[in-house]
Structure 1
């Protein structure tokens, strides 16, 4: 009954926050004053912390409730205007080999509001442009739109774009024979964007409903993220978890609120994420005033070995955990090889980031194993586990096992009470086991009551 009441309050809050946003739409769309938003086109085939490499950006302007301008530019054209030196985060300098920080790498912080503000700062310094907010979008919503609309024809390129060939065409048009200063990338994305906007008007009523649904799912699954200067609207966006922020949910009473979030950053200067799949296993053991956790991330690279460096996945991987985490260890396994790694551990805004560099060649599988501990105050009556999904990645298999010293009274989502061959609900040597398996397409908020 408790969980049902909590769920009711959650849906009630969802409706309330969306109502606020709808009421503010006239202002968002420039009803009284023209509004311009920075749109970051993040190519998730080259994964970065907030979705993907920022290869292009757009300035989206609304006036009197109508779209008045949408100008798309190549990010290198803007970065070429930056005067002076901006020191990059250490991993960008060390692993990406960049001595300077630019708009194209501004999304290094997985917390989207932080990266959005940084992107605005670079836009101001490079192009003397100020905006009213930032929107990020990766390739998944475009692919989903094409599944609804069917193929679209780019007349300037004499080319049909479908959901099946989108990645191939984007790669060919924006990456092949690219050099800084060319307008090739911006021209193609402009043609694609304008054709999609025109196509929306030609959709049937049922197709338009499907588009609204995919927009909602894109926000829920972090393929689109929003950061607006209108504080009342942004507060509602944040409450809906559409702002891409990193946080640890609050937890009242004798409760421990936990966080785990995997953040990958492709630093190989290629589009190898097209070939990369992942899965995660989380083992949580609650006992004696401690919570000991192990997270195993498996990375599988299906790239053909003939691709060489262009198929190699070189990634700076971070695990986000609570700031009071201790006993941190990281190892990796590849085939019969086992290696103890020395992580780079930093404190950042109420969390710890455990970072390591890794490479997965074409045809290889590699496991990264993180372990850490948190202390608890007294006996718990509730445990909350927040598994944060990174922007820019598709759903991936997640398996969670929780071992507790006492029987669980309830959980949401429901954890199976039999993880092994032991009799149902029988105490094991380490306590009672409960398991949950799912495909992580959005953030997971799990609650367990004791």
Structure 2
């Protein structure tokens, strides 16, 4: 990995085919060796070896094996992506997730990244307002953009309104073509999280033109200060700063040790997994691989056959307050699923906490258009918001989109406030099911947050993946559930009063797939 990075950023020509075919063989050997070491270590651990227990506590073999497997899958497809025969130019969207948008963040700047014969030959960064200023004619925006952002026209900067990244990427390409007469070979989105992760590996970067040191701790503050203070449409200040930062990161990458370069490769994989980086390329073979790995940012609509029901749940927030208040916002979600013979009732509670100081005024207010993504056959949809004991019934906007329903509503969380947004919906079952699958989608640009899932059923489960904990469910009035009875490996012997309830708590850093068998 380190050798590949050095060649891409270097000045010397090299054969991408020779280098990458050699990497493929080495990776296969490393994977086999790692698997053998893991097998021996696990076997030794079963004999109560202290050394084996220590190794297993320090090394996550599965993580490294998965990293190697993913690299093997994409290595043979990289030569064409890196311009082995014809140069390739990619449209890079810099999405500021301190102003959250459906595919990661507000598009304040963009870059054109060109590879020629395996080398990075050009990387030019521009301000999005310079491009938007070149648009001729009127483009009708989605209704929420017009209604809540107050924009009568649709621009490149707001083109990422669809949470499905391939859809938004195509729209962004369309705007680039119309505004700048530029055609590209694909689109890549990047938010601030990977840059912060990089700085933790590389250490601080000094920008001599700005007499400024940037590290993982002050990145958000410095970027915010430079790209927003004294900003006006048409200025080159933002693009100049981001160009200097990007050049410094590339220079720093070239000087990293082999171990650090491997760490950079891992952080790229992690951020692809966690949807802080998304990829949509015109190379169909490569893009199919991105889709299989879940790195294309698409909204996956699950399906299953037989006596099975598959479910989709996704939260999409779009900051329409024209500020960077997401720096102060944290969230937690609770998904409650009640399965009966003929119906599934679901409740999603999203808790938004805004820790901004009241002194910030409107800059600290979080105004967001929140959408719930659910299956197209969902019924009995309603929503409400609450602060403490005060509850307001909402009138959500419900639309159909690509085989799913989107339930949208505007929410405002003032500085220092905590607000809950609750969605209710159901689905009718036309047949008896013996398997229930649920896909919980993580939004691009959002850091990991607590998600608590409960599944209730009158019938006990035969199994679940991941493993849900069974608790004694008791719905009698004024009676608290007995949480002392637990069963990690259902089925359990004794029937429980009032049915069965299973719990799973996690930090949602990537999509969650759960399966239940009856």
Which interval holds the TM-score relative to the shorter structure? over 0.9
Residue number among 418, 423, 442 corresponding to 2:510 in the alignment: 442
- Other-structure match for 1:162: 215
Structure 1 residue 448, shift from structure 2 partner? 1.0
Please say if residues 265 and 316 of structure 1, whose CA atoms lie closer than 8 Å, have aligned partners that are also in contact. yes
Q: Deviations over 1:64-120 (max 9, x none)?
A: 110000000000000000000000000000000000000000000000000000000
Q: Deviations over 1:247-275 (max 9, x none)?
A: 22232321111000000000000000000
Please report the TM-score for the alignment, with normalisation by the length of structure 2.
0.83
Q: Deviations over 1:341-364 (max 9, x none)?
A: 000000000000000001000000
- Other-structure match for 1:387: 440
Alignment of 1:47-446 (within 5 A): 47-418=100-471, 420-421=481-482, 423-424=485-486, 427=495, 430-446=498-514
Q: Deviations over 1:107-134 (max 9, x none)?
A: 0000000000000000000000000000
Structure 1 residue 430, shift from structure 2 partner? 4.4
Q: Deviations over 1:118-175 (max 9, x none)?
A: 0000000000000000000000000000001110111111111000000000000001
Quote the Cα distance in structure 1 between the aligned partners of 2:145 and 2:299: 21
Structure 1 residue 14, shift from structure 2 partner? 9.2
Structure 1 segments unaligned to the other structure (5+ residues): 1-10
Quote the Cα distance in structure 2 between the aligned partners of 1:407 and 1:178: 60
Secondary structure of the residue aligned to 1:156 is helix
Please say if residues 67 and 269 of structure 2, whose CA atoms lie closer than 8 Å, have aligned partners that are also in contact. no
Structure 1 residue 38, shift from structure 2 partner? 0.2
Quote the Cα distance in structure 2 between the aligned partners of 1:427 and 1:366: 38
- Other-structure match for 1:6: none
Quote the Cα distance in structure 2 between the aligned partners of 1:429 and 1:411: 21
Secondary structure of the residue aligned to 1:407 is coil
Please say if residues 18 and 236 of structure 1, whose CA atoms lie closer than 8 Å, have aligned partners that are also in contact. no
- Count of paired positions: 440
Structure 1 residue 20, shift from structure 2 partner? 4.3
Please say if residues 259 and 320 of structure 1, whose CA atoms lie closer than 8 Å, have aligned partners that are also in contact. yes
- Other-structure match for 2:18: none
Structure 1 residue 204, shift from structure 2 partner? 1.3
Secondary structure of the residue aligned to 2:444 is coil
Distance 1:176 1:405, change over 3 A: same
Secondary structure of the residue aligned to 1:136 is strand
Please say if residues 41 and 137 of structure 1, whose CA atoms lie closer than 8 Å, have aligned partners that are also in contact. yes
Q: Deviations over 1:373-413 (max 9, x none)?
A: 01223221111110000000100000000012211111111
Structure 1 residue 13, shift from structure 2 partner? 10
Residue number among 78, 82, 106 corresponding to 1:29 in the alignment: 82
Quote the Cα distance in structure 2 between the aligned partners of 1:346 and 1:157: 47
Please report the TM-score for the alignment, with normalisation by the length of structure 1.
0.95
Please say if residues 403 and 430 of structure 1, whose CA atoms lie closer than 8 Å, have aligned partners that are also in contact. no
- Other-structure match for 2:9: none
Secondary structure of the residue aligned to 2:459 is coil
Structure 1 residue 288, shift from structure 2 partner? 2.1
Structure 1 residue 17, shift from structure 2 partner? 6.8
Please say if residues 20 and 233 of structure 1, whose CA atoms lie closer than 8 Å, have aligned partners that are also in contact. no
Please say if residues 311 and 362 of structure 1, whose CA atoms lie closer than 8 Å, have aligned partners that are also in contact. yes
Structure 1 residue 443, shift from structure 2 partner? 0.3
Question: RMSD in angstroms over aligned alpha carbons?
Answer: 1.6
Please say if residues 260 and 387 of structure 1, whose CA atoms lie closer than 8 Å, have aligned partners that are also in contact. yes
Specify which structure has the higher proportion of helix: 2
Quote the Cα distance in structure 2 between the aligned partners of 1:392 and 1:236: 22
Max Rg structure = 2
Quote the Cα distance in structure 2 between the aligned partners of 1:405 and 1:227: 44
Distance 1:105 1:430, change over 3 A: farther
Quote the Cα distance in structure 2 between the aligned partners of 1:348 and 1:430: 38
Please say if residues 371 and 406 of structure 2, whose CA atoms lie closer than 8 Å, have aligned partners that are also in contact. yes
Quote the Cα distance in structure 1 between the aligned partners of 2:66 and 2:200: 31
Structure 2 segments unaligned to the other structure (5+ residues): 1-63, 473-480, 487-491
- Other-structure match for 1:42: 95
